[in-house]
Amino acid sequence: MKKVTGIGGVFFKSQDPKKSKEWYEKNLGIISDKYGHTFNWRDNEDPEAECITQWSPMEQDTDYYKPSESEFMINYRVENLDLLLNELRKSRVEIVGEPQEFEYGKFTWIIDLDGRKVELWEPKDKALL
């Protein structure tokens, strides 16, 4: 079973997310909406599959990364979240909260060896894989 299939997103704290987005747009050409920027790409193994990676500056005081105190969080795309969760539990990996499901996929969160919160995402639509 494939576990991680790619990076689904990079999220980082910012003193002023609006100004950060403006800086990145001016200097690096990353055009943002209220959430940040969605990068679209194709999967090497299945070039017909359209994929996305989200880039998002977030408020400095966000609690989305809790219980981690890290300044950033990475979202990894996974192939089968339920099966992976079973393996993580067997390995005694700390799981944060309960898995959640939305129209665009299933999510869960774990804590890595260095205490960072990591988001795991199984895209629901094959077009997002």
- pTM for the structure as a whole: 0.89
Task: For residue 45, name the pLDDT band (cuts at 50, 70, 90).
Answer: confident
Residue 129 has pLDDT above 50, yes or no: no
At residue 86, the pLDDT reads 95
Residue 70 has pLDDT above 90, yes or no: yes
d(CA 26, CA 82): 41
> What DSSP designation does 112 have?
-
Q: Where are the domains of the chain?
A: 4-128
Q: Are 81 and 38 in contact, with CB atoms under 8 Å apart?
A: no
How many residues does the structure list for the chain?
Answer: 129
Q: Which fold has domain 4-128?
A: 2,3-Dihydroxybiphenyl 1,2-Dioxygenase; domain 1 (3.10.180)
d(CA 85, CA 118): 13
Q: Residue 13 is encoded by which pair of tokens?
A: 């704290």
Q: What is the arithmetic mean of pLDDT over 48-64?
A: 93
